[in-house]
Amino acid sequence: MADEIKTEAQLLTDFADNNTGEISEQDLRNFVVSIYDEVGNAGMTPAYGGVYRNTDYAFPEEDLEDWVKFEEFTDAMPTTGVTSSTASDSITIDTDGDYLVSLSLTYKDDRSGLRCRVAKNGTLLLPIKLQNVETMRLNNSQIFSLVDTDVLTVEFVGSIQWWTPPITYINLLVHRIG
């Protein structure tokens, strides 16, 4: 007999009790195929993706008085359930769920006058405070509930000087976890 994907109600009926020993091997196989999809995810559609730049980027010599979207991503990671785009320098959520949102940033020297954030639809989602040290690697990750059509971007604000050294690596990544 072929394995059958069943609803939760059907599975609960099949496993109501086993006092009479009526739960069969086929019932167990049906349970397994009902809760796991073809890639082994227990009832959850996978979703992940990201955009990044791994070459130096020097900011133009002008102060950023309002939050300005970072528009210099050069590469997109493989994606499923999200749309990662270097053309729009963003990640668009295509599948509702709980996501781990991560921003990694490496820069040289003093960037104490510059602040960074991940924005969702143009509003703060994940703040990043750049520190005043010689070579800095920053990583910040948090879990957020995101819905279809949410757009994630990286934004900067603050003072830019002629001596402001470049960002050497930046990576925005999302991974659905629930």
Digit-coded pLDDT (tens) for 86-124: 999 999 999 888 899 999 888 776 555 677 889 999 998
Dihedral angle computed from the Cα positions of residues 8, 12, 13 and 16, in that order, rounded to the nearest 10 degrees: 180
Residue 131 has pLDDT above 70, yes or no: no
Question: Long-range contacts: 123-130, Cβ < 8 Å, 24+?
Answer: 125/101, 125/152, 126/101, 128/103, 130/105
Domain 48-176 CATH (choose: 2.40.30.10, 3.40.50.300, 2.40.50.90, 2.60.120.40): 2.60.120.40
The verdict on pTM exceeding 0.85 is: no
Q: Where in the chain is the domain with CATH 2.60.120.40?
A: 48-176
- What is d(CA 20, CA 29) in angstroms, rounded to the nearest whole number? 19
